Amino acid sequence: MTLSPPRPVTAARWLRPLAVANLAANIAIVVTGGAVRVTGSGLGCPTWPRCTEESYVVHGELGVHGAIEFGNRMLTFVLVAIAVACWVAALRSRQGRPLALATVVAFGIPAQALLGGLTVRTDLNPWVVALHLLVSMAIIGVCVVLLDSLRGPARAAAPTTVRRLTRLVLASAWVVLYLGTVVTGSGPHSGDADSRRTGLDPQVMSHVHAVAVYVLVALTLGLLVLAHRAGQERVARAAGLLLTVELAQGAVGFTQYLLDLPEALVVLHLLGAALLSAAATWVVVSAGQRSSGSSATETNSSAR
């Protein structure tokens, strides 16, 4: 007679795919949110939590903008379903650190939805919109840490100098992400024709943002060299990946600036920002210590 595998093993087998889905879904919601903004659909549903004062769902009078905004709202429920499933798998697999991280994501997404409601209630205040985006970037980072906690065997931490530089790279990446929201908040893509801007000069802020990008690229190059010299190839690979994202993101950023911010490139730039958050987080976790593996395979072996 064939016995069913223990419950923790079965749950662990689902945990990693669900963690990957968590990361992918949170990156996707950044992209769809960008599409809402560049199409001017930010107030397609003019209130929250209802779409209108009379209805929770969109209706024909709101037109295509209403459909786009309402569709983006519905994607939040997909994120919640994935996050809850991931949390349940972590709970049933009896793994402490993954459970803590999955809990952060599971609570972060509803909190993010409330913040999205606040952006509508404040008529797309650019500072609130910026916070809304940055919270998504933070959730993406947590998803990356969750994935790392599921990747396998124990590993030693990188040397202190390498670890310190990875943290400096992450901090610099967050400065770049923040300044990117300031540039967007001063530019033309407000999400609605009547929404106010920050009042800052978009050209000046674009140059400030570019300087921060130069600093980030220089720090990443320095980390790449230092990691190679220290024999930390794992960190070097992560730094190489981050550098690739930075260069691609810089190319898109300069192109959209020269072409006067075409909508498709703005959305692509937001995708790059989400990947930047993920890659910068991966640089830090790649340099950290992992006390023990928690992959499904290892759990299965210990069960036997």
Number of domains in the chain: 2
Q: Sort 281 into a burial class: Cβ within 10 Å, 0-12 / 13-18 / 19+.
A: buried
Same domain as 169, residue 140: no
282, part of any domain: yes
Same domain as 10, residue 139: yes
Same domain as 28, residue 126: yes
- What average pLDDT score do residues 14-28 get? 94
Same domain as 173, residue 143: no
Same domain as 189, residue 269: yes
Question: Which residues fall within 8 angstroms of residue 28, CB to CB, at 6 or more apart?
Answer: 75
Same domain as 122, residue 11: yes
Torsion sign across C-alpha atoms 276, 120, 186, 65: positive
- What average pLDDT score do residues 108-114 get? 89
297, part of any domain: no
Last residue of a domain, one of 93, 128, 151: 151
Q: Give me the chain's average pLDDT, please.
A: 87
Query: Do 221 and 202 contact (CB within 8 A), yes or no?
Result: no
Question: Which residues fall within 8 angstroms of residue 118, CB to CB, at 6 or more apart?
Answer: 48, 128, 132
Give the bridge partners for 290, in sequence order: 155
The lowest-confidence range among 9-13, 87-91, 112-116, 294-298 is 294-298
Last residue of a domain, one of 129, 151, 173: 151
Give the bridge partners for 137, in sequence order: none
SS3 at position 155: strand
Report pTM: 0.88
Query: Do 304 and 60 contact (CB within 8 A), yes or no?
Result: no
SS3 at position 290: strand
Question: Domain range spanning residue 18?
Answer: 1-151
Banded pLDDT at 95 (limits 50, 70, 90): confident
216, part of any domain: yes
- pLDDT at residue 167, as a whole number: 97
Question: Which residues fall within 8 angstroms of residue 92, CB to CB, at 6 or more apart?
Answer: 7, 8, 10, 11
Same domain as 97, residue 47: yes
- pLDDT at residue 274, as a whole number: 97
Same domain as 163, residue 62: no
301, part of any domain: no
300, part of any domain: no
- pLDDT at residue 155, as a whole number: 83
**Residue 194 to residue 54: CA distance in whole angstroms:** 22
298, part of any domain: no
- pLDDT at residue 37, as a whole number: 83
304, part of any domain: no
Same domain as 89, residue 114: yes
Give the bridge partners for 155, in sequence order: 290
Banded pLDDT at 165 (limits 50, 70, 90): very high
Same domain as 176, residue 59: no
* Residue type for position 163: R
Same domain as 125, residue 18: yes
Same domain as 132, residue 48: yes
Last residue of a domain, one of 151, 171, 197: 151
**Residue 256 to residue 185: CA distance in whole angstroms:** 16
